[in-house]
Each structure stands twice: as C-alpha cells, then as structure tokens.
Amino acid sequence: MNFKEENIDRFLEVFNSSKLLIRNFEGCSHLELLNDINNRNIFFTYSHWSKEQYLENYRNSELFKGVWSETKILFNARAEAWSLHQHTILE
C-alpha cells in the first residue's frame, strides 16, 4: 500500500486500532505490518490464514469493510494484494 505522506499517521492509527481484531479473526494465525526501508510511504500487511475460506470470510466481514473504507481514502496509488502458498521453509 502506498500512502500519501500526510496520511501515514492516520493509516497507522487505523491499523493500530484494528490489528488485534484482525489478528483474532477466525482463521488468522499471524499478522505483521511492514514498512519499506527506502520509501516510508509504502507498507505491506503480511498475514497467515489457516484456510483460504477464512480469508474470504474476513474480506466479506463488517470488520474488513470498516477498516478498508478508512484506509483506501489514504492511498497515493492503487493497492495490490496477493494470496500465496508456502513453497519452502528454511530454519
């Protein structure tokens, strides 16, 4: 997500007020907010969902609709999202 400079603090307020609700949503086992080291306007959320259906349930929830409506108006560019499967783990 790429935010207008003047909207970064507002985005962080929205994220911080909803992060526990998102993390505790059924099927979510992990949630991170990452910030690009070279461009402070760019953020990524990284989450783990036990089944794709749980992610779809979240995307169709009132929680998501509320968070998204407050977040999307802060963007500097169109947001992108990917769903990925885990290929390799090295520990």
Residue 3's DSSP bridge partners are 75
How much is the pLDDT for 6? 97
DSSP secondary structure code for residue 58 in this structure: H
As for how many domains the chain has, the answer is: 1
Inside any domain, residue 50:
yes
Nearest-10 Cα torsion for 69, 60, 13, 46: -120
pLDDT in tens, 3-51: 999 999 999 999 999 999 999 999 999 999 999 999 999 999 999 999 9
Confidence category of residue 89, pLDDT binned at 50, 70, 90: confident
Confidence category of residue 84, pLDDT binned at 50, 70, 90: confident
Inside any domain, residue 84:
no
- Give me the long-range contacts of 37-41 (CB less than 8 A, separation at least 24): 39/2, 40/5, 40/8, 41/2, 41/3, 41/4, 41/5, 41/8, 41/76
Q: With beta carbons less than 8 A apart as the criterion, state whether 1 and 22 touch.
A: no
On the question of pLDDT at 83 being above 90, the answer is: no
CATH of the domain at 65: 3.30.70.100
Inside any domain, residue 62:
yes
